[in-house]
Chain A
Amino acid sequence: MENEICIKAESLDLFYGDFQALKNVNLEVAEREITAFIGPSGCGKSTLLRCFNRMNDLIEGCKIAGKIFVDGRDIHENTDVNLLRKEVGMVFQKPNVFPMSIYDNIAFGPRTHGVKGRKNLDPIVVESLKRANIWDEAKDRLNKSALGLSGGQQQRVCIARALAVQPKILLMDEPTSALDPISTGKIEELCEELKKQYTIVIVTHNMQQAARISDKTGFFLLGEMLEFGDSSQVFSSPKNEKCEKYITGRFG
């Protein structure tokens, strides 16, 4: 059975000043699946990812044409951006824990959304750390600085922090490119666990990673999405010649 559509982009163009970074992208992301975006640097995949929670709004000179729907709602129409970003969480390439305790990192989001008091925050912190598979490693040092954790642990704290505000969607922009293979494996396993409840869109330079964990894959080049389909199809018999050349390491 096909999952419901969670994110939809329609005729999406994006300009940074005069430079067109996305060209007529049409895309549907199914809920509770992992969708991977691949393509050479500068192809627009991270730009597209940032469209989904309007992170590009912060970039001067950025103009968007076309529509993006999250859960059927046009995110450029009457949308509270703070609520959108609560619903659509994000994890970045480098772990960016706040310089504060592990507990406060996780409680940060809920607090800004009005949750107060240890009685209310404790269960959220525990649950989020558990879901991000970092609880066992963090439970005895919740009040210590998150900066004391390893890179892989910090990245899972960042995922826990994103989960703490109960998002529906997690955007991940190269979440493992700064991590060693073991930490990478843990994040990948975590993604597979998380997709039971969340929709995940991941940008990765690691094609093997996309093949390992994603259900769908989109290939981007020079702002265009040239191929989109089931990952097993894209990686075994891509339809687009440039996609084939890229994933087999012949250009890019």
Chain B
Amino acid sequence: MYRSRFEKEMDELRSNLVRLGLLVEESIDRSIAALIKQDRVLAETVIAADREINGLANQIESRALNILLRQQPIATDLRIISTALKMVTDLERIGDQAEDICTIVLHLIDENYVAQGKWIILPKMAQLAKQMVNASIDSFIKQDIDIAKKVIETDDEVDILFAKLRDEMIELLQSKPKYANQAIYLMMVAKYFEKIGDHAENIADWVVFCKTGEKKHRKI
């Protein structure tokens, strides 16, 4: 029973992070679906959900700070709390990016899309980014460094897809200038998914720190 209150607070922190992760994954899913289906209601749902994401993120931050204040964690406990505090910022930003994507969707609602073959890469990026977010949180909960390393590797795949889409969009701009607005908007969406991958990678980097005390081979 030693420090059972502390353990309870840590469990709550973990389950809140999982909840936050599920919310942002849902927003990623919905943002790409809203883009493909040009679904205004779905896009607005994601925009509205960001408020809930921010609220939960704030709650996690204040709980984590409260644990720092009242329980003075050290060693592994200190690394877990620091990691949680860093993770929450990345997750909250992912929520913002899903919201930003949906703001773009609202601009594209009445467009006649250029053939989707041109941007078939986007749903793949969204899928990968979502998997990375899911795996990064999983790696934290399980404290599994192998899952974290896999997330870090996957970011390269997202970057490659981003570069491909960029080339497609350049080609589109050159060949069909009347689709210039779509090319630019889709480029931005791709950048947001690429950033989501970066945030998931950040989380994974912190999980490696959490487990080893090292971040990018540097002692902290």
Interface size class of B (residues with CB under 8 A): 10 to 19
Q: Which residue of B lies closest to A193 (CB)?
A: B1
**Neighbouring B residues of A208 by C-beta, 8 Å:** 72
Distance in angstroms from A108 CB to nearest chain B CB is 27
B residues 37-91 with Cβ under 8 Å of A? 65-66, 69-72
Residue contact B5 to A211, C-beta cutoff 8 Å: no
CA distance A211 to B72 in the complex (A): 9
Give the residues in chain A near B71, CB-CB below 8 Å.
Answer: 212
Say how far B73's CB is from chain A's closest CB, in angstroms.
11
- Interface code A141-163, partner B: CB below 8 Å = 1, 0 otherwise? 00000000000000000000000
Contact residues of A between 193 and 252, Cβ < 8 Å to B: 208, 211-212, 231-232, 235-236
A186 at the interface (CB under 8 A from B): yes
Across the interface, do B3 and A231 meet the contact criterion of CB distance under 8 Å? no
| Contact of B69 with A185 in the complex, beta carbons under 8 Å | no
**Chain B residues whose CB sits within 8 angstroms of the CB of A192 once the complex forms:** 5
B7: min CB distance to chain A, Å:
11
Interface magnitude class on chain A: 10 to 19
What mask results when residues 1 to 20 of chain B are scored 1 for a CB within 8 Å of chain A, else 0?
A: 11111000000000000000
Determine the distance from Cα of A185 to Cα of B4 in the docked complex, in whole angstroms. 10
Q: Which of B4, B5, B69, B72 contacts A236 (CB 8 A)?
A: B69
Chain A residues positioned under 8 Å from B72 (CB to CB): 208, 211-212
With A189-B4, A211-B70 already in contact, 12 other A-B pairs whose C-beta atoms are closer than 8 Å: A133-B1, A186-B1, A186-B2, A189-B3, A189-B5, A192-B5, A212-B70, A212-B72, A232-B69, A232-B70, A235-B70, A236-B69
Q: Which residues of B contact A (CB under 8 A)?
A: 1-5, 65-66, 69-72
